[in-house]
């Protein structure tokens, strides 16, 4: 029996494992990096051990430090969660050699599936050699053999781009996984990502616990998942089950794992890989089958036998991943303080609580919202509504994208959505939401109620007071100046005659727009200029503008600024002052929240300054480089600001 478990992870999955341990009466130990010293998983564990440093390579990826922490804290078992060391056979062996129980598959099973190329050969699917591709093979997807999560992946549609994309994929794979091996597979733009959850014990029983559809992806990372995968013919489901069970038996698997497939438009299933760990999207399977996969992992690790048959499935479940990112700006990760996180009516798995900070070192995942209902349509409706009414205050998130995705006709029709969904619909899904003007009116009236100032109301209307609030979508700000007059009969809005103020308090304002009255819940968090307005039909994030704007230093034309806080990973080959660049060329790669982001030239011209170097950490807005743009009369000319610098 496991008495004390160390969770070798952080964030949402660490909190998820801790919750099951609490339910089972198992004591817990957390590990943490320096930025995570006060994180939620640390606060919820019975004990915690510091891993000195901030970068994953110095902390959560140091297997020797994690094992030492388990021994120091008196733990007798280790659960790896997902990511980090969860699929590291060497770490699993180190845990077992220390006399600890490893809550995962045997190291040999991990090794068998660790390389995607070896896994494909094991399952009879020969990968393509990326160095021997021809135009007839295109389009292809270049993938890292040793990793996942979108790292080291590149789509190649043109043979001329192959060399550069291969070099970039290999460099990213080496940086992320310590292994630069890549391979290629046919790229199916309209394929569906379908997977089978398996659970195996040490006594020969292997459960196929249903299918999941994870086709809605951005940057090769899943965003919305559901179980069971809709619209699959029974014969195809049986085929997927058979392949998944065969893969597990072939490597002597034990514990929870997932076998992933790409299903083509013609219904042909292509084996992708086997993930020898718990998946991020495991809650939808738990909801449908009424099981706790973490509890089953622990029992299997203790040697217990599974029943001969899995429980019967019930209903449908859908999960949406809430990220701190801005989809309208290329999914740029966001940082800052999370002031509120409330998604009522559905299961919420998270590693954050109100007041926690969101930093740059780790994944941008804030939470997973999961809805379960008797039918798919009901589950989708429930999740969309729960997210729409959620209170998520702090950095920009993908919440609006999730709501619109769940309601898009291509998604609501079972089995129609595929992995190209966001490539086709992202522009429409990230368009500015309507109603921002009314939200700004509510914010202005709430602030006026909270800070009434002198004068209160007058018998005769006086000059209007005004407040300005800004919205930003995709980096484009839109300001709303709200003018109002308070009288004995209420507020007058001279610029908005179609709006009648029903009531105006410091926290809630009710507006009548064209005969329909709606409440607006207004929250201004101390120490910030951000005002959040929550309504039954959606939420708005506004910025309070100062009454008098101070002059600010202008940025030199052609300046390349850091779009987010992060670390410079590498520069483009041959990049140096004096080099000529074209607008849109990738000049450097910035790593933030476990993802690499292209930083491109803002204009065509000559690089006149370069302030970035690999390994340098930069804040948002930091000057990385300057490209002197071409002038019609001649060569690029330095600006006065550059000359002074």
For residue range 488-501, list pLDDT tens digits in order. Answer: 888 999 999 999 99
Give the residue from 348, 400, 444 showing the smallest Cα distance to 540. 400
Tell me: the pLDDT tens digits for 191-221? 999 999 999 999 999 999 999 999 999 988 9
Q: Confidence class of residue 5 from pLDDT cuts 50, 70 and 90?
A: very high
pLDDT at 549: 46
Question: Which tokens belong to 572?
Answer: 């483009």
Task: Supply the CATH classification number for the domain 192-429.
Answer: 3.30.470.20
Question: Looking up tokens 């084996």, which residue turns up?
Answer: 271
Residues whose CB is less than 8 angstroms from the CB of residue 268 and which lie 6 or more positions away in sequence, other chains included: none
- Contact call for residues 427 and 531 (beta carbons, < 8 A): no
The number of residues making up the chain comes to: 645
Q: Which CATH number fits domain 436-544: 3.30.700, 1.20.58, 1.10.3470, 2.60.40?
A: 3.30.700
Per DSSP, helices labelled H in 63-198 are 63-73, 89-97, 107-114, 116-122, 162-177
Same fold, 4-103 and 113-186: no
Model pTM? Answer: 0.87
Spell 473-506 as b/e; 16+ CB within 10 A means b. beeeeeebebbbbbeeeebbbeebeebbbeebee
> pLDDT confidence of 118, banded at 50, 70, 90?
confident
pLDDT at 461 (0 to 100) = 52
- For residue 552, the model assigns a pLDDT of 39
Average pLDDT, the chain: 91
CA-CA-CA-CA torsion sign (561, 148, 110, 302): positive
pLDDT for residue 629:
81
Q: How far is CA 179 from the centre of its chain?
A: 24
Residue scoring higher pLDDT (602 or 243): 243
Specify the CATH architecture of the domain 559-644: Beta Barrel (2.40)
- Which of 43, 60, 39 is CA-nearest to residue 51? 60
Pairing of strands 347-350, 4-7: unpaired
DSSP 438-491: HHHHHHHHHHHHHS--TT--BSS--SPEEEEEEEEETTEEEEEEEEEEEETTEE
> Is 277 assigned a catalytic role?
yes
Let me know: does 624 contact 560? Beta carbons within 8 Å. Answer: yes
Q: Which of 94, 154, 170, 277 is catalytic?
A: 277
Chain segment 79-109, per-residue pLDDT in tens: 999 999 999 999 999 999 999 999 999 999 9
- 3-class SS at 602? coil
DSSP string across 495-515: T-TTEEEEEE-SSEEEEEETT
Contacts of 574 (CB under 8 A, 6+ apart): none
* pLDDT (tens digit per residue) in 23-53: 999 999 999 999 999 999 999 999 999 999 9
CATH entry, 113-186, from 3.40.190.10, 1.10.486.10, 3.30.1490.20, 3.40.50.12780: 3.30.1490.20
Q: Is 122 exposed, middle or buried (0-12, 13-18, 19+ CB in 10 A)?
A: middle
Q: Which CATH architecture has domain 4-103?
A: 3-Layer(aba) Sandwich (3.40)
| CB atoms closer than 10 angstroms to residue 194 | 24
140-144 and 47-50 strand pairing? unpaired
Residue indicated by tokens 């809430």: 322
pLDDT-based confidence at residue 631 (cuts at 50, 70, 90): low
What is the residue extent of each domain of the chain?
A: 4-103, 113-186, 192-429, 436-544, 559-644
Pick 549 or 227 by higher pLDDT.
227
pLDDT class for 639, splitting at 50, 70, 90? Answer: very low
What is the C-alpha to C-alpha distance for residues 199 and 183, in angstroms, rounded to an integer? 28
Confidence (pLDDT) at 594: 64
């Amino acid at each position: 029996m496991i008495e004390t478990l160390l969770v070798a992870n952080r964030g949402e999955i660490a909190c998820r494992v801790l919750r099951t341990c609490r339910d089972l009466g198992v004591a817990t130990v957390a590990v943490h990096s320096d930025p995570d010293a006060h994180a939620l998983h640390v606060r919820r564990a019975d004990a915690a051990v510091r891993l000195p440093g901030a970068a994953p390579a110095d902390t959560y990826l140091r297997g020797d430090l994690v094992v030492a922490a388990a021994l120091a804290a008196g733990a007798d078992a280790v659960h790896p969660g997902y990511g980090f060391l969860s699929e590291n056979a060497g770490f699993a062996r180190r845990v077992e050699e220390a006399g600890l129980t490893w809550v995962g598959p045997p190291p040999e099973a991990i090794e068998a599936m660790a390389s995607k190329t070896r896994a494909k050969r094991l399952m009879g699917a020969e990968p393509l050699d990326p160095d021997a591709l021809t135009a007839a093979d295109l389009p292809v997807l270049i993938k890292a053999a040793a990793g996942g999560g979108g790292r080291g992946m590149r789509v190649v549609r043109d043979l001329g781009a192959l060399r550069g994309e291969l070099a970039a994929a290999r460099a990213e794979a080496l940086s992320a996984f310590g292994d630069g091996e890549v391979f290629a597979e046919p790229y199916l733009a309209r394929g569906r990502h379908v997977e089978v959850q398996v659970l195996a014990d040490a006594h020969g029983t292997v459960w196929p616990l249903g299918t999941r559809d994870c086709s809605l992806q951005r940057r090769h990372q899943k965003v919305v998942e559901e179980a069971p995968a809709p619209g699959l013919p029974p014969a195809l489901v049986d085929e997927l089950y058979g392949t998944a069970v065969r893969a597990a038996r072939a490597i002597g698997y034990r514990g929870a794992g997932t076998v992933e497939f790409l299903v083509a438009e013609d219904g042909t299933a292509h084996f992708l890989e086997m993930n020898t760990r718990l998946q991020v999207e495991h809650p939808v399977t738990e909801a449908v089958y009424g099981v706790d996969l973490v509890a089953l992992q622990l029992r299997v690790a203790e040697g217990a036998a599974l029943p001969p048959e899995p429980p019967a499935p019930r209903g449908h479940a859908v999960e949406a991943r809430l990220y701190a990112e801005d989809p309208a700006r290329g999914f740029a990760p966001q940082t800052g303080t999370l002031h509120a996180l409330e998604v009522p009516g559905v299961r919420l798995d998270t590693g954050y609580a109100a007041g926690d900070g969101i930093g740059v070192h780790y994944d941008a995942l804030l939470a997973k919202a999961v809805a379960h209902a008797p039918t798919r349509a009901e589950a989708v409706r429930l999740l969309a509504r729960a997210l729409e009414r959620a209170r998520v205050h702090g950095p920009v998130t993908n919440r609006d994208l999730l709501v619109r995705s769940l309601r898009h006709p291509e998604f609501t029709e079972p089995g129609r959505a595929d992995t190209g969904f966001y490539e086709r619909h992202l522009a429409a899904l990230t368009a500015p939401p309507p109603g921002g003007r009314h939200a700004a009116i509510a914010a202005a009236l709430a602030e006026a109620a909270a800070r009434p100032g002198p004068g209160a109301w007058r018998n005769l209307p006086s000059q209007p007071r005004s407040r300005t609030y800004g919205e930003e979508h995709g980096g484009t700000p839109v300001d709303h100046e709200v003018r109002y007059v308070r009288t004995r009969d209420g507020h007058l809005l001279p610029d908005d005659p179609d709006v009648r103020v029903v009531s105006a308090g410091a926290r809630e304002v009710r507006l009548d727009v064209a005969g329909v009255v709606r409440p607006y819940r207004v929250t201004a968090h101390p120490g910030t200029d951000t005002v959040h307005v929550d309504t039954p039909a959606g939420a708005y994030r506004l910025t309070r503008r100062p009454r008098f704007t101070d002059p600010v230093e202008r940025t030199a034309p052609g300046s390349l600024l850091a779009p987010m806080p992060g670390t410079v990973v590498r520069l483009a080959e041959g990049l140096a002052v004096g080099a000529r660049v074209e607008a849109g060329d990738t000049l450097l790669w910035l790593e933030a929240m476990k993802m690499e982001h292209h930083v491109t030239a803002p204009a065509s011209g000559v690089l006149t300054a370069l302030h970035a170097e690999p390994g340098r950490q930069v804040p948002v807005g930091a000057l990385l480089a300057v490209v002197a743009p071409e002038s019609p009369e001649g060569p690029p000319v330095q600006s006065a600001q550059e000359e002074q610098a």
